[in-house]
């Protein structure tokens, strides 16, 4: 009888741990969906600013130097001209859909252009939590965004496209 009581006590102890184990499993499973939701929110916000003509807000979110396609733009005036020009010519990001969102890795620079300058830009200016977001518009064209999203700030580091 004593052995059965010991087994029952052990089972009760294990059962008490079960809710914590389930909570940990749910948290790990939701991490990917939380990040995807943040990435989708970022492309929606940038697209909204472009579509509503808010070049000043886009510029305020942009960090220098800025990677535009394969060119590294150093001057704030040039970045401001980029944002205002795409808005003036009527560029829109219609119905953006997140195709892919990935953390910056050692070969991520190749998505923009495979050169020493772009690789140096990625290594020197991007933070370890920066992400490469690929979105697809309703016309099937793609745009790449380099962003860093922290608790209080959203920073645009690069833009490529549409292609």
The pLDDT of residue 16 is: 72
Q: HSE, CB side, 13 Å, CA atoms: give it for residue 6.
A: 3
pTM over 0.85: no
Per-residue pLDDT 10s for the chain (163 aa) are: 566 666 677 676 776 766 665 565 555 545 678 999 999 999 999 999 999 999 999 999 999 999 999 999 999 999 999 999 999 999 999 999 999 999 999 999 999 999 999 999 999 999 999 999 999 999 999 999 999 999 889 999 999 999 9
Give CATH for domain 35-160: 3.10.450
Task: Please give the Cα distance from 66 to 12 (Å, whole number).
Answer: 59
Label each residue of the chain as H, E or C.
CHHHHHHHHHHHHHHHHHHHHHHHHHHHHHHHHHHHHHHHHHHHHHHHHHHCCCHHHHHHHEEEEEEECCEEECCHHHHHHHHHHHHHCCCCCCCCEEEEEEECCCCHHHHCCCCHHHHHHHHHHCCCCCEEEEEECCCCCEEEEEEEECCCCEEEEEEECCC
Give the domain ranges of the chain: 35-160
The pLDDT of residue 155 is: 97
The pLDDT of residue 32 is: 73
């Amino acid at each position: 009888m004593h052995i059965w009581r010991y087994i029952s006590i052990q089972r009760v102890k294990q059962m008490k741990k079960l809710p914590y184990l389930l909570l940990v499993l749910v948290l790990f499973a939701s991490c990917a969906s939380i990040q995807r939701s943040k990435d989708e929110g970022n492309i929606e916000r940038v697209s909204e600013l472009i579509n509503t003509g808010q070049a000043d807000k886009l510029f305020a979110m942009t960090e220098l130097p800025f990677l535009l396609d394969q060119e590294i733009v150093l001057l704030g005036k040039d970045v401001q001209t980029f944002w205002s020009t795409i808005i003036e010519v009527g560029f829109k990001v219609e119905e953006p859909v997140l195709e892919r969102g990935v953390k910056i890795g050692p070969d991520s620079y190749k998505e923009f252009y495979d050169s020493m300058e772009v690789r140096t830009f990625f290594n020197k200016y991007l933070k370890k939590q920066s992400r490469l977001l690929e979105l697809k518009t309703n016309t099937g064209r793609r745009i790449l965004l380099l962003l860093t999203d922290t608790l209080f700030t959203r920073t645009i580091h690069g833009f490529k496209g549409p292609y």
